[in-house]
Chain A
């Protein structure tokens, strides 16, 4: 067996390890091992390539590995779980830029190619550069928005959309031109235009839609890697890249569905129509305020309690206190579950990570489809820092801007306690009839303080 076949086999092993690794993520029990399998695949692929006869000098390689390893390692150890969306955005960007550089490095060998090999390599180089560059700058803007270094709202200028279309057309035109004339100037011009496009695509996207954008950029970073695989003619890049591309697309679709938004609405910055001041006052005389002691007494007599957390819970850092309340209740034989809406955090699955960090067992974290049928047999629901995702208007009012959005049916429980600072609307900008329902009690205040008061109330009983 010659060296090339050996390398191919190693790449095959790596690809299989990636697939098994992702498969491990289908259950929390096997997930840790799955991730390690993925890492092993990466090790196999990167060690194998070092045997390639094209590699003659190891100095640059070692420098690169050490610098990259240090940056990646230290940031992964230091990052806070609440900052995971920013972290993933940065990493998407670095993957995109890596593809830009790898495709750019191969420009010099393009003119020597002929026939279909030339066609494949030039088209793939263009695609790799275009997708990689959009991913890089788009991710950087997403990072700045998530980290609140720039406004999280819509940033736009007159003629923004036509200009984006123009940039997209110019980018595709430059890809075509690269096929005719595979010169570095053409490639780097393409990178520049695509970089601007990436910035302008993400700038107008509002904070509420960010989870969709991160998922989509995740997909792009994979597609860029797959395109790079076509450039250097390597199956492991194509396989790994398309796995990631598919993963990002699935997550994008899930998030769009959960937010009742179409992908085109998100991408083209079409905001949901906000109703301002048109609505009748549905709250006055109907809202009942409650206190920590009262909630504690109601919880005491319950048999089944469901906690519905929103991102407000994480902002208030109330995860740990809520878990203490849950433990206090479980000690009295009361069943406690958590109902998690897909957009509860700032990225897909974010709330689950935050609760896992607070030592909530994963069996208690139930997704929307599993928890919804259980609300009618639930005695008390505690909603902390969530609003639109528990708004029954999505189900009952076809005129509502959120009509048809999948929600958690907390209103079907016997008693609903909503912990919230005020009656102010959420992202959708609409009133929530839940707050005025007969079985709802409003506990006004900071999430952490309110839950703390409930805990103290319980301990005194």
Chain B
């Protein structure tokens, strides 16, 4: 049971950290926040890579498909967020 408890603890604490930080983000940056957090949700790439590198037939294909999708999220998400944030400039 110990592992499950540890994971649940981590989950609960991370949710609180999330709420604390996100509520401090100004509305001006809410769109970059959405695209950036979208990129972060591409963290499933870790699980995807594990299966894509395995030698079990079907899980391997599912893993490769997941790598494609999660990589789209990571690369596309961070890149578009960077593009947007670079446009936010202060007074000249």
Contacts and interface: CB of A to CB of B under 8 A. Distances in A.
Contacts of B21: 19, 22-23, 26, 243
A98 B70 contact: yes
Contacts of B27: 254, 340, 342, 348-349, 352, 367
B18 A242 contact: yes
Q: Which label, helix, strand, loop or mixed, suits the secondary structure of the B interface?
A: helix
Contact of B46 (A29, A31, A236, A363): A236
A106 B38 CA distance: 23
A319 to B, nearest CB: 11
Contacts of A173: none
Given A108-B59, A237-B47, A73 B37 contact: no
A4 B24 CA distance: 35
Report which residue of A215, A249, A353 has the largest number of chain B beta carbons within 10 angstroms of its beta carbon. A353
B91 A95 contact: no
Contacts of A222: 37, 40-41
Nearest to B55: A56
B80 A79 contact: yes
Interface in A42-86: 42, 45-46, 49-50, 52, 54-58, 60-61, 63-65, 67-69, 71-73, 75-77, 79, 81, 84
Contacts, number: 378
A39 B78 contact: yes
Contact of B52 (A64, A81, A234): A64
Contacts of B45: 42, 45-46, 98
Contacts of B80: 76, 79, 84, 87
Interface in A120-169: 120
B92 A361 contact: yes
B69 A94 contact: yes
A133 B84 CA distance: 29
A105 B37 contact: no
A234 B10 CA distance: 10
Contacts of B76: 71-73, 75-76, 91
Given A60-B63, A340-B27, A46 B37 contact: no
Interface in B1-20: 1, 3-4, 7, 10-11, 14-19
Interface in B22-36: 22-36
A92 interface: yes
B7 A57 contact: no
B83 A218 contact: no
B3 A120 contact: yes
Contact of A38 (B40, B51, B58, B89): B40
A104 B60 CA distance: 11
B42 A52 contact: no
Contacts of B46: 11, 45-46, 49, 232, 234, 236-237
B53 A57 contact: yes
A87 B34 CA distance: 11
B32 A25 contact: yes
Contact of A120 (B4, B48, B77): B4
Nearest to B38: A91
Which 7 pairs, one residue from A and one from B, show the smallest C-beta to C-beta distance?
A: A68-B71, A246-B18, A349-B30, A64-B67, A72-B76, A55-B53, A72-B75
Interface of B: 1, 3-4, 7, 10-11, 14-19, 21-56, 58-92
12 contacts: A27-B26, A60-B60, A61-B53, A64-B67, A68-B70, A72-B79, A88-B31, A108-B59, A221-B41, A234-B47, A243-B17, A347-B31
